[in-house]
């Protein structure tokens, strides 16, 4: 399979979006944040290009202004909004330029393409993962830095960055591109332009094996999904920037033209309304029941009663006890009695939570131990008004 880091990232955030984008190849226009991000990236590329001199800040701002004008043809924006984006871009570039004067850096490459070749040891299949690194600097003798610019606001925690797949794949990509570099001598940085903050991490030589395993495991998972044509939608905050909302089963019903295509829409609407009203009142009832229970129990305790009566019913307070065992002692007693296996049943929720913390190889082994997937549905009620607007705030769509 040939894929890119950004496609793998899309798969991780939503398998259905991956299918629309990478398998069905459905083209959707870019959102305004993505277009803004691309324009900023091209201005930064220009900033570090010296032919023969580096451009001045004014030249960079002029370049950005022109690119932003061109970019507006790709996205619908109100004049005020376009101006706000322009001002934000100019501020962000000015502040970046002042703190990072281009002549102070030894830039080796920009928009640097890489390809990582992987062979699955089990299936012997070959895969290629491609990507583009924003900037590669030399930062000392045999020391290098990969820099990825982010126009998003949300900065990950250091612990998250230390295991971040994008950084790991870029690390692997650079070592494939320039095999003479040493894994430990590569600094991996994300530069958050809106905050003027750079956070960095590194990967050891041993981490390369883990990255390969992680990528291969994701590729295997994708192949399994292709075989079953099973790409579930995975709604998250990122849906606000997804161009496939009018196709996606999670959002399609919000779109009027799609609504008119739904059979029996007239019948569905009152059912949904009634369900929501009942659910809301049952939630209120639950809260009120809890309040009443606490008050009645207080009364019972103070009056030393365990049962209270109304005209046609009564309430009884019963004490329930739930023993807390010493698991190790129980295990040895029941193992000796040959009963341990009978009571041992994995708690799926706990298992799911633990799986995420295990090394990829162990995760893969556990995945292979899945014999069946039980499917069930629940209806959850979210009380908020949703509009069709996209581009909630920001997205960094670059790989
Ligand atoms: S709208 Fe959300 S759930 Fe639907 S495809 Fe896009 S990211 Fe996935």
Q: What pTM value is reported for the model?
A: 0.78
Kindly write down the DSSP assignment for every residue of 15-75, as one continuous string.
Answer: HHHHIIIIIS----PPPHHHHHHHHHHHHHHHHT--SSSPPPHHHHHHHHHHHHHHHGGGS
pLDDT for position 392: 45
Compute, in angstroms, the gap from residue 243 CA to the centroid of ligand 1: 8
Is the CB–ligand 1 distance for residue 242 below 6 Å?
Answer: yes
- Statement: residue 399 has pLDDT above 50: no
**Which of 13, 242, 247, 391, when mutated, tests ligand 1's pocket best, judged by the most ligand atoms within 8 Å of its CB?**
242
Is the CB–ligand 1 distance for residue 132 below 6 Å?
Answer: no
- Structure-model confidence comparison of residues 394 and 3, the more confident one: 3
For residues 80-93, give the mean pLDDT. 95
Work out which ligand 1 atom sits closest to the CA atom of 244.
6
- Structure-model confidence comparison of residues 163 and 357, the more confident one: 163
Work out which ligand 1 atom sits closest to the CA atom of 14.
8
pLDDT for position 391: 54
pLDDT for position 398: 41
Predicted confidence band at 367 (pLDDT cuts at 50, 70, 90)?
Answer: confident
Compute, in angstroms, the gap from residue 17 CA to the centroid of ligand 1: 6
pLDDT for position 260: 66
- Structure-model confidence comparison of residues 378 and 242, the more confident one: 242
DSSP code at position 119: E
Beta bridge partners of 115: 130
Is the CB–ligand 1 distance for residue 16 below 6 Å?
Answer: yes
**Phi/psi at 370 (5° precision):** -75, 125
Q: What is the C-alpha to C-alpha distance for residues 60 and 37, in angstroms, rounded to an integer?
A: 15
pLDDT for position 185: 95
- Statement: residue 377 has pLDDT above 90: no
User: What CATH number was assigned to the domain covering residues 2-241?
Assistant: 3.90.320
Kindly report, residue by residue over 20-77, the tens digit of the pLDDT: 999 999 999 888 889 999 999 999 999 999 878 899 999 999 999 999 999 988 888 8
Is the CB–ligand 1 distance for residue 37 below 6 Å?
Answer: no
What are the extents of the domains in the chain? 2-241, 265-316
Kindly report, residue by residue over 249-298, the tens digit of the pLDDT: 999 888 866 666 667 778 888 888 998 999 889 989 999 999 999 999 99
pLDDT for position 390: 60
Mean pLDDT for the chain?
88
């Amino acid at each position: 399979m040939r894929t890119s880091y950004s496609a793998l990232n899309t798969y991780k955030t939503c398998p259905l979006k991956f299918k629309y984008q990478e398998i069905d190849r459905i083209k959707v226009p870019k959102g305004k944040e993505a277009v803004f991000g691309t324009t900023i990236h091209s201005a930064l590329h220009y900033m570090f290009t010296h032919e023969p001199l580096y451009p001045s800040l004014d030249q960079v701002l002029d370049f950005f202004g022109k690119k932003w004008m061109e970019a507006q043809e790709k996205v619908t924006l109100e004049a005020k909004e376009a101006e706000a984006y322009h001002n934000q871009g100019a501020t962000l570039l000015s502040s970046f330029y002042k703190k990072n004067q281009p002549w102070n850096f030894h830039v080796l490459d920009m928009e640097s393409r890489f390809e990582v070749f992987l062979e699955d040891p089990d299936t012997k299949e070959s895969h290629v993962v491609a990507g583009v690194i924003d900037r590669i600097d030399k930062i000392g003798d045999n020391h290098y830095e990969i820099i990825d610019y982010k126009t998003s606001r949300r900065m990950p925690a250091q612990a998250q960055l230390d295991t971040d797949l994008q950084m790991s794949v870029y690390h692997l990509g650079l070592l494939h591109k320039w095999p003479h570099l040493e894994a430990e001598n590569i600094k991996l940085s994300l530069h958050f332009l809106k905050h003027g903050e750079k956070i960095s991490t590194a990967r050891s030589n041993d981490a390369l094996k883990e990255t390969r395993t992680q990528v291969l495991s994701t590729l295997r998972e994708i192949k399994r999904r292709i075989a079953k044509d099973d790409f579930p939608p995975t709604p998250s905050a990122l849906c606000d920037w997804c161009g496939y909302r009018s196709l996606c089963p999670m959002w399609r019903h919000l779109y009027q033209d799609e609504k008119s295509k739904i059979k029996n829409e007239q019948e569905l609407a009152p059912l949904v309304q009634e369900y929501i009203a009942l659910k809301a009142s049952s939630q209120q009832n639950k809260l009120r029941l809890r309040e009443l229970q606490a008050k009645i129990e207080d009364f019972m305790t103070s009056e030393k009663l365990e049962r209270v009566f109304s005209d046609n019913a009564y309430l009884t307070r019963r004490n329930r006890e739930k023993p807390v065992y010493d698991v190790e002692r129980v295990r040895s007693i029941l193992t000796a009695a040959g009963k341990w296996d009978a009571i041992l049943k994995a708690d799926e929720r706990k298992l799911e939570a633990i799986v995420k913390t295990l090394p990829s190889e162990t995760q893969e082994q556990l995945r292979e131990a899945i014999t069946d997937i039980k499917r069930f549905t629940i209806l959850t009620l979210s009380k908020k008004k949703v509009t069709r607007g996209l581009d909630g705030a920001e997205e960094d769509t670059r790989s």
